[in-house]
């Protein structure tokens, strides 16, 4: 018996559902296609060319003729599931535990990201671009305004992205915190008054290294495929305030510094390494549980 199925065919729907139930009972169907990404069965029916149902002894044999089904499933990935999201500064986050044996628990996405990355160049998961040691004050938005006026205080820097030059050592608050010690302390807070949710803080260089460099992560593809799902979000330039290198390079601030220079993780198509950086650059930030 053959049957052409469509979303409006209630008879086909009932028959297929009954057959699926029998298959589960028999637990020995010859051809079973598991569809986990498409939630509404009506969508599957709409793209099936034909459903043939045959009864051979006690078995029910399914043939799904759907040449475009794989691409439909790929374009409808399963949504993130998080039974108890952490809501902070208007963004939902979920905790994820390291798969590298460190025991560390991290946020599942960059600060400000709309979702967990589905690709290394997924723009919805890029998140915000923070100047090193700076608070959530509006500057981190990729479209925020710019100013070349230095911040008089680390905690009161205004809402604009502060551009800089060698006059101020490529810093946004050089006079207020020349050594960077105040900003290391700021990003190490776990009381929810800095950039991370309560109980979380910005990762140190050593902590990020344990999940990347020391875990065999050697490129932007590796960074995306890791449990951290790090994107190649690019960065915001300290001089122009323009966002660049998106989709090809990723940069993640640490809460660490070498002498007075902040340390940043960077990765591209064939490299992942560490470097000193200019404090006025806008980079991605990832938090972990203290």
Domain ranges of the chain: 2-74, 86-289
CA distance 184 to 193: 14
In the predicted model, is pLDDT for residue 13 greater than 60? Answer: no
In the predicted model, is pLDDT for residue 28 greater than 80? Answer: no
pTM (two decimals): 0.73
Band of pLDDT at residue 84, cut at 50, 70 and 90: confident
Strand order from edge to edge, sheet including 2-3: 2-3, 50-56, 59-65
And the tokens for 191?
A: 């009381």
Average pLDDT over residues 226-233: 98
Choice among 83-92, 130-139, 218-227, 263-272 with the minimum mean pLDDT: 83-92
Element holding 236 (H helix, E strand): strand 235-236
pLDDT tens by residue, 145-167: 999 999 999 999 999 999 999 99
pLDDT tens by residue, 264-275: 999 999 999 999
Would you call 61 exposed, middle or buried from its count of C-beta atoms within 10 A (0-12, 13-18, 19+)? middle
In the predicted model, is pLDDT for residue 5 greater than 70? Answer: no
Query: Does residue 2 contact residue 35 with C-beta atoms inside 8 Å?
Result: no
pLDDT tens by residue, 39-48: 444 444 444 4
DSSP assignment of 241-255: --EE-TTT-EEEEEE
Instruction: Tell me the pLDDT of the chain averaged across its residues.
Output: 82
**Which residue, among 177, 137, 188, 136, has the nearest Cα to 153 in the 3D structure?**
177
Task: Count, in order, helices (H) and strands (E) of the chain.
Answer: 6, 18
In the predicted model, is pLDDT for residue 124 greater than 50? Answer: yes
Band of pLDDT at residue 131, cut at 50, 70 and 90: very high
- Four-CA torsion 120, 123, 124, 127, nearest 10 degrees: 90
């Amino acid at each position: 018996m053959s049957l052409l199925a469509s979303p409006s065919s209630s008879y086909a729907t009932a028959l297929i559902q009954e057959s699926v139930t029998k298959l589960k009972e028999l637990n020995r169907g010859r051809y079973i296609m598991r569809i986990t990404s498409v939630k509404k069965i009506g969508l599957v029916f709409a793209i099936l060319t034909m459903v043939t149902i045959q009864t051979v002894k006690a078995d029910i044999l399914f043939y799904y003729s759907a040449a475009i089904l794989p691409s439909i499933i790929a374009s409808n990935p399963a949504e993130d599931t998080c039974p108890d999201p952490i809501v902070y500064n208007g963004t939902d986050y979920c905790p994820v535990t390291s798969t590298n044996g460190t025991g560390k628990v991290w946020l599942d996405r960059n600060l400000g990201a709309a979702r967990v990355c589905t690709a290394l160049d997924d723009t919805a998961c890029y998140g915000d671009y923070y100047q090193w040691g700076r608070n959530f004050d509006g500057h981190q938005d990729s479209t925020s305004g710019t100013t070349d006026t230095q911040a008089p205080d680390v905690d009161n820097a205004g809402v604009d992205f502060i551009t800089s030059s060698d006059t101020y050592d490529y810093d946004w608050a050089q006079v207020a915190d020349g050594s960077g010690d105040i900003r290391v302390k700021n990003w190490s807070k776990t009381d929810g008054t800095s950039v991370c949710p309560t109980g979380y803080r910005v990762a140190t260089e050593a902590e990020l290294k344990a999940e990347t460099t020391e875990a065999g992560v050697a490129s932007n593809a590796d960074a995306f495929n890791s449990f951290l799902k790090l994107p190649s979000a690019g960065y915001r330039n300290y001089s122009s305030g323009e966002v660049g290198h998106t989709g090809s390079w990723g940069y993640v601030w640490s809460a660490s510094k070498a002498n007075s220079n902040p340390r940043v993780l960077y990765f591209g198509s064939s490299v992942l390494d560490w470097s000193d950086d200019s404090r006025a650059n806008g980079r991605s930030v990832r938090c972990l549980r203290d």
